Chain A
């Protein structure tokens, strides 16, 4: 039995992108959830599967079910960090296939920017890292960047290219938080936070909520919007602490990607648009390599010259990414939203013409949890 094409995303919703003054995390989650259901032509009473995470609730699915008034038959709140929502797509696909639920709602919400002004995290350092005071999570990514630069000759300019490409996409997205022009020199000259990463190598700290609705493939055909079918999904993780990562230049995306592509029956060369979890500029480079879009070590050279920016050879993070569009603590749900929009042809000025296959790749912790979802239009099923 394969899950390929057995389920689809038929509704997406967002709320409070950027700054959502006066709104709490659950209110934002709820607004995004209702928007996703409305798109799907469904209501709360139809939802019997609920997969939710926040950074404010210790039992997010319970809190979300209570808030929305849902009594789910199937639910998930497993904490994989920012990639949780890509993991939930696999769980929802399985639950739908098995008939454990008929309508699965995946949702996230955060008001961290207006409430705290910084990353809100329940993460704690282990006793073998805490005494050295790495700035969490950025120092973990900085260590990986240092290693990639040492081993492959990757440069700070190449890292900066990732941020510049994201900003150029953001300029085409009216929802993006940061849309002003950005240059490589701007990134290099920004305040150093944890070498070699400056402030502009780091994702935004915004508010925001996003949600999607999944149903079985047969039911998706009758949905008001073009479905985005789940062609493949897989996750992998090899460590939690950065000091336990086997090789700082190879993430577990090198395992999740091939498994997701195998389920989808396609390869990286078939992907029209990629949404890669860019909490930091090094992420995009690592995931381009590990998902097979370029050889290991070539990610820095791959992104040079605007190659992943609008008009480049391969479109990456077309909404502006976590670097320039939205990053409310956990970014994974927004990757799925943008992938679906591209497959529907709803992405406006930033639309990739004729996009049939999209990848949403989530990351959690300190390059710890890697989760790959391959989505396709009806033509790919």
Chain B
């Protein structure tokens, strides 16, 4: 039976295609899990359910990848700590690629790249300190 059910990776992508940013949470421990897995890492707890992410998070680390203008120009790559706890890689739009700062409050949005949905973030708070 288990072989007939899409795994957590495909389920996650299906949620994104339906316009929902979902992460996993353990029913018994309340721990949130990202990236999507069969069981909570470390404990092996298997009672993971999909819950809507608040979409709110804080930039934990940031880099601006330098790229020639004719190839699309510079862009940022960030690690965001979701308010629920897990960390994910993403980018922050709506700000200069080298203008993202650690501690910046951000809010998730589902964008599309090469026809596939992906979670990106927009600034969601006060100006830089």
A-to-B contact residues, CB < 8 Å: 126-129, 131-135, 139, 142-144, 146-147, 150, 191-196, 241-244, 248
User: If A139-B77, A143-B79, A243-B87 touch, does A128 touch B66 (CB 8 Å cutoff)?
Assistant: no
CB–CB A131/B65 < 8 A: no
Between A and B, 26 residue pairs with Cβ closer than 8 Å are A128-B34, A128-B88, A131-B118, A132-B77, A132-B89, A132-B90, A133-B77, A134-B63, A134-B65, A139-B63, A139-B65, A139-B77, A142-B63, A143-B78, A147-B60, A147-B61, A147-B102, A192-B64, A193-B65, A193-B66, A194-B64, A242-B79, A242-B89, A243-B87, A248-B60, A248-B79
B75 on interface, CB distance cutoff 8 Å:
yes
Q: Note all chain A residues with C-beta closer than 8 A to B66.
A: 191-195
Q: Are A243 and B79 in contact (CB under 8 A)?
A: yes
B69 to chain A minimum Cβ distance, whole angstroms, is 14
Q: Is the CB of B102 within 8 A of A135?
A: no
Taking a contact as CB atoms under 8 Å apart, the answer to whether A134 and B9 are in contact is no
Majority SS of interface residues in chain A? mixed
When distances are taken between beta carbons in the complex, the residues of chain A under 8 Å from B79 are 143, 242-243, 248
B residues 88-118 with Cβ under 8 Å of A? Answer: 88-91, 98, 102-103, 113, 116, 118
Complex CA–CA separation, A241 to B103 (angstroms): 21
Considering the chains assembled together, what is the distance between the CA atoms of A194 and B62 in angstroms? 10
Contacting residues, chain B, for A147 (C-beta < 8 A): 60-61, 102
Which B residues are CB-close (under 8 A) to A195?
63-64, 66, 98
Complex CA gap A306/B2 in Å reads: 59
Q: In the complex, what distance in Å separates the CA atom of A244 from the CA atom of B87? A: 7
Q: Is the CB of A134 within 8 A of B98?
A: no
Assembled-state Cα–Cα distance A126/B89 (Å): 11
Shortest distance between the CB of B75 and any CB in chain A (Å): 7
Which chain A residues border B63 with CB–CB below 8 Å? 134, 139, 142-143, 146, 194-196
Question: CB-CB < 8 A to A243: which residues of B?
Answer: 35, 79, 87-89
Q: What residues of chain A lie closer than 8 Å to B78, measured between beta carbons?
A: 143
Report the separation of the CA atoms of residues A196 and B100 in the bound assembly, to the nearest whole angstrom: 13
Judge whether B65 and A194 touch: CB under 8 Å. Answer: yes
* Given A143-B63, A143-B77, A147-B61, 13 extra CB contacts under 8 A: A132-B89, A132-B90, A132-B91, A139-B65, A143-B62, A146-B62, A194-B66, A194-B77, A195-B64, A195-B66, A243-B79, A248-B61, A248-B79
A137 CB to nearest B CB, Å: 12
Interface centre among B87, B89, B102, B118 (most CB of A within 10 A): B89
The distance in angstroms between the C-alpha atoms of A316 and B128, with both chains bound, is 38
Alpha-carbon distance A38/B35, docked complex (angstroms): 50
CA distance A147 to B113 in the complex (A): 28
Please encode chain B, from 25 to 40, with 1 for each CB lying within 8 Å of some chain A CB and 0 for all others. Answer: 0000000001100000
Contacts of B90 in A (CB 8 A): 132
Chain A residues positioned under 8 Å from B118 (CB to CB): 131-132
CB-defined contacts of B103 to chain A, threshold 8 Å:
150
CB contacts (< 8 Å) of A129 on chain B: these are 89
Closest to A150 in B: B102
A146 to B65, CA, bound (A): 13
A126-B35, A131-B113, A194-B64 known; A146 and B89 CB under 8 Å? no
Closest to B64 in A: A195
A139 to B61 alpha-carbon distance, docked (Å): 11
- B64 x A134 contact (CB < 8 A): no
Tell whether, in the assembled complex, residue A135 and residue B88 are in contact, meaning their CB atoms are under 8 Å apart.
no
Residues in B with CB closer than 8 Å to A142 are: 63
The chain B residue sitting closest to A193, CB to CB, is B66
